[in-house]
């Protein structure tokens, strides 16, 4: 007696198809041959959290597998990342609460965590790029990216402090200044301040389209502003409902001297990445933010996702959308996996 499979085969007429897309998927080598998007370690920037002290490597509860490092332990981690081909690290400090004040004064201290780390990294791992965040939230007692007067984040007064902060970081050895504050006019002011101090070769990677997102919670845990932030940041970060506005913001930052631009968050805003790339053909980066990372890791911990596949698929999506590179907490892990092939 014929099996059900044989009966089905006998009753099914062969389809008269000229095009059979599955032919290009029939084997691993064939899939590799026609692959449109390539991800490499060169595409990865590693955001790294700093804290005071020595010999410290402190886990962040809301970001499994991510740590705050004292400068000495950070150097060990950065050396490993560099050996895997990661081209740059982005530094974010968890500033001692005793050093935070309403004016963000510690941002201008040449011996703050970020500046000391810049100097140490350039000595110990000179081949890796150092990206520094320009914003006041790690240094203010109120947790905002700018100066707070009454209930208002004042723009022009903040920009003057940000320009001084950028020069402070450049003196410490920062290769790329990355303003994440979203104040109006800060790129032009920072470019002018850097050039006036002889730092014409220091690049600016602008957080040009940074949205007032719900996906930043674990990051605020990491830098210690989760409990200090007064109110929200919607008067300066962008409305998640807006798309055309992102193009206006990017255009202004490029006109004012940004060398590269960024979209943040990443995955929920791939449409913005694509629009920016198509409109400006400028180096455009995306930030796979803490909330995105933590969602994947939570699903992995529950056995709902294959961690390695989810990691690599998410990073490939940024490249497919047109991003020149990705800031991701997965950078060392992804680079190690890419090395293994």
Catalytic residue positions, numbered:
210, 264
- 144 near 137, Cβ under 8 Å? yes
| Residue 215: burial class (beta carbons within 10 Å; 0-12, 13-18, 19+) | buried
- Percent of the chain as helix, strand, coil, to the nearest 5: 45, 20, 35
- 161 near 108, Cβ under 8 Å? yes
Kindly list the distances between the CA atom of residue 5 and the CA atoms of 9, 14, 46, in Å, as whole numbers in the listed order: 6, 15, 52
According to the annotation, is 249 in a ligand binding site? yes
Q: Over the Cα atoms of the chain, what is R_g?
A: 23
Dist. CA 120–CA 111, nearest whole Å = 12
Question: Could you give the 3-state DSSP secondary structure of residue 36?
Answer: coil
Nearest to 66 by CA among 227, 289, 264: 289
- 253 near 191, Cβ under 8 Å? no
Annotated binding site: 249
Which residues define the annotated binding site for Mg(2+)? 249
């Amino acid at each position: 007696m014929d099996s059900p499979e044989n009966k089905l085969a006998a009753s099914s007429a062969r389809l008269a198809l000229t095009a059979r897309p599955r032919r290009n998927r029939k084997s691993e080598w064939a899939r590799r041959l026609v692959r449109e998007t390539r991800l490499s370690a060169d595409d990865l920037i590693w955001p790294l959290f700093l804290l005071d002290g020595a010999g410290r490597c402190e886990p962040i509860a809301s970001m499994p597998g991510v740590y705050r490092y004292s400068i000495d332990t950070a150097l060990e981690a950065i050396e490993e990342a560099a050996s895997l081909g990661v081209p740059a690290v982005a530094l974010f400090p968890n500033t001692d609460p005793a050093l935070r004040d309403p004016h963000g004064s510690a941002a201008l201290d040449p011996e703050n965590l970020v500046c000391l780390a810049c100097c140490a990294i350039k000595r110990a791992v000179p081949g890796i790029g150092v990206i520094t965040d320009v914003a006041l939230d790690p240094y203010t007692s109120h947790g905002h990216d700018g100066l707070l007067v009454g209930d208002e984040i004042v723009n022009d007064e903040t920009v003057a402090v940000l320009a001084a902060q950028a020069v402070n970081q450049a003196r410490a050895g920062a290769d790329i200044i990355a303003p994440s504050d979203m104040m109006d006019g800060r790129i032009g002011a920072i470019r002018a301040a850097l050039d006036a101090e002889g730092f014409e070769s220091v690049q600016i990677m602008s957080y040009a389209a940074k949205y007032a997102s719900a996906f930043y919670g674990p990051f605020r845990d990491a830098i210690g502003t989760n409990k200090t932030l007064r109110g929200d940041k919607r008067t300066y970060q962008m409305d998640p409902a807006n798309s055309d506005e992102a193009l206006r913001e990017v255009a202004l930052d490029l006109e004012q001297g940004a060398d590269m631009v960024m979209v943040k968050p990443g995955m929920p805003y791939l449409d913005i990445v694509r629009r920016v790339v198509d409109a400006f053909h400028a180096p455009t980066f995306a930030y796979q933010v803490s909330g995105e990372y933590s969602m994947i890791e939570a699903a992995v911990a529950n056995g709902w996702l294959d961690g390695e596949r989810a990691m690599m698929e998410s990073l490939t999506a940024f490249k497919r959308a047109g991003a020149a590179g990705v800031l991701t907490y997965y950078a060392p892990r992804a680079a190690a996996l890419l090395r293994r092939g």
